[in-house]
Amino acid sequence: MRGFWISILGLFLGLAACGETPEFETRNQANNDGKKFYRVPPFKLLECQGRPIGNAELAGNVWVASFIFTTCPTHCIAMVGEMEKLQEEFAKERDFKIVATTVDPATDSPEALKKFAKERMANPEQWYFLWGQRALVKKFAHDGLKISWRPEEPLIHSTYFVLVGKNGFVRGMFDNKDARRMADMRKTIRKLLAES
C-alpha cells in the first residue's frame, strides 16, 4: 500500500512540474504581433555537441527558445513535439533556429542531451539543446528572457515559447498549450524571417 501512495505522489509531482503561467507572460502573449519587447542580454551556454552558444552565435537568426527537461512526463513532451514540427516546417530556413535549454542540468548532462537530440532526429545545425549550471540557466530564463522560474522548484517552469528576432530582441511569447497561439507564432516567424 505504501508503494501505491509513493507512486501517486510521484505522479502528482510530475504533473505539477512545467505548468506555471505568470502574469508577465500572459500580458505579453496578448500583444504578439512582432513588436520589439526587449533585447536578450548577454548569455553563453554549452550546446550538447560541445560548442558554446550565445548571443553572438544566434545573431542574425530568428530563434525560438524553450525550457524543458528530458525526464518530464507532461508538458515537455508536447513542447518537444512542437519543436519537432517547427524543425520540419522550417527545415529550409537557414536563418531559423530552435533553442531548448534544460532546467535540470544535474540529470540532463550534455551527453544525455545529445542522446535525447539524436532520438528526436534534431538537426544539430538548426535545433540546439543547451546545458548550463543552474545559476546560468536561471539568468538566461528569468533575468534574460523574463519567463517564469522558481529556484526552489526548478522543474516547475514555463511552457511558453519565446520568439527572438534577427536583431536579438524578444518579439513574442506564445503558450504551447494554445493551438491558436502556436499558429500565430508561425505567422510571426515567417514575418521575422522576411525582415532584412
Query: Which residues touch 182 (CB under 8 Å, ≥6 apart)?
Result: 82, 174, 176
- Domains present along the chain, CATH in parentheses: 18-194 (3.40.30.10)
pLDDT tens-place string over residues 12-38: 333 334 554 444 444 455 445 556 789
Virtual torsion, Cα 118, 77, 96, 57, nearest 10 deg: -70
Give CA separation, 21 vs 65, 68, 90, 175, in Å: 16, 15, 27, 9
Q: What percent of the chain has pLDDT over 70?
A: 78
Is 180 a residue whose pLDDT tops 90? Answer: yes
pLDDT in tens, 35-94: 678 999 999 999 999 999 999 999 999 999 999 999 887 778 889 999 999 999 999 999
Q: What is the pLDDT of residues 130-145, one digit of tens each?
A: 999 989 998 999 889 9
Is the distance from CB of 155 to CB of 18 less than 8 angstroms? yes
DSSP string, 123-167: -TTTEEEEE--HHHHHIIIIIIS---B-TTSTTSBB-EEEEE-TT
